[in-house]
Amino acid sequence: MRRLATVLLTLSLAACGPSAPAPQIGRPSPVAAVTGPTLSCGSAPVGVAAMPVGTTRSGTFRHVRSLTRKLKVRGETWSRGAERLHVGVVCGVRTAEEFATLVDRATLGMHHGKPALSWETRGDLHNFMWLERPGTAVYVAATPGLSTEIDRIADEATG
């Protein structure tokens, strides 16, 4: 009887055949970060490594209203839904003293050992700007939904 049970068990297991391979679960393809702009006040460009995922370039700007002086500004606006992110350069500021007086009611600080200003404007726009080198200040501003990206963009900017 033992032999019959062994034979039946072997035959029933063999009849099942090999188990079906587990289905391959596809990983979602990674969303590539959007290459950021390269902006310049002359011959030495300032590059932004990558813009936040899901943003698209939506225009340019040539003016920052908060500035107390008329200076040359070059920038790009990026958007994700109703949220906006502005990245640009402000040209013509040569010294830290000049830079410190560019925006009324701004907080003066440092960014990687360079003078920096931060302020908020109507519409909850968070603004941050630092003097990258004499003649070139880098400007980053964002609406509340993208304001957490300001520090990352500032840290990754090269110039």
| Cα separation, 130 vs 114, whole angstroms | 7
The type of residue at 112 is: H
pLDDT recorded at residue 11? 54
pLDDT recorded at residue 34? 73
Element (H, E) at 13: helix 2-16
pLDDT recorded at residue 42? 86
Contacts of 46 (CB under 8 A, 6+ apart): 38, 39, 40, 89, 132, 136, 138, 157, 158, 159
pLDDT recorded at residue 30? 46
Domain boundaries, the chain: 34-156
pLDDT tens digits for the chain (159 residues)?
556 655 555 555 455 555 555 555 544 444 456 778 899 998 889 998 789 999 999 999 999 999 999 999 999 999 999 999 999 999 999 999 999 999 999 999 999 999 999 999 988 999 999 999 999 999 999 999 999 999 999 999 987
| Cα separation, 116 vs 39, whole angstroms | 18
What's the fold here for domain 34-156? Protein Transport Mog1p; Chain A (3.40.1000)
| Cα separation, 46 vs 159, whole angstroms | 4
Question: Which residue in the block uniquely carries the two structure tokens 């920096």?
Answer: 116
* Cα 90 to Cα 22, 59, 69, 95, 133, distances in angstroms: 57, 17, 11, 13, 11
Answer for the pair 50, 99: CB distance below 8 angstroms, yes or no: no
Which is it for the CA torsion 51, 110, 62, 85, positive or negative?
A: positive
pLDDT recorded at residue 125? 96
pLDDT recorded at residue 43? 80
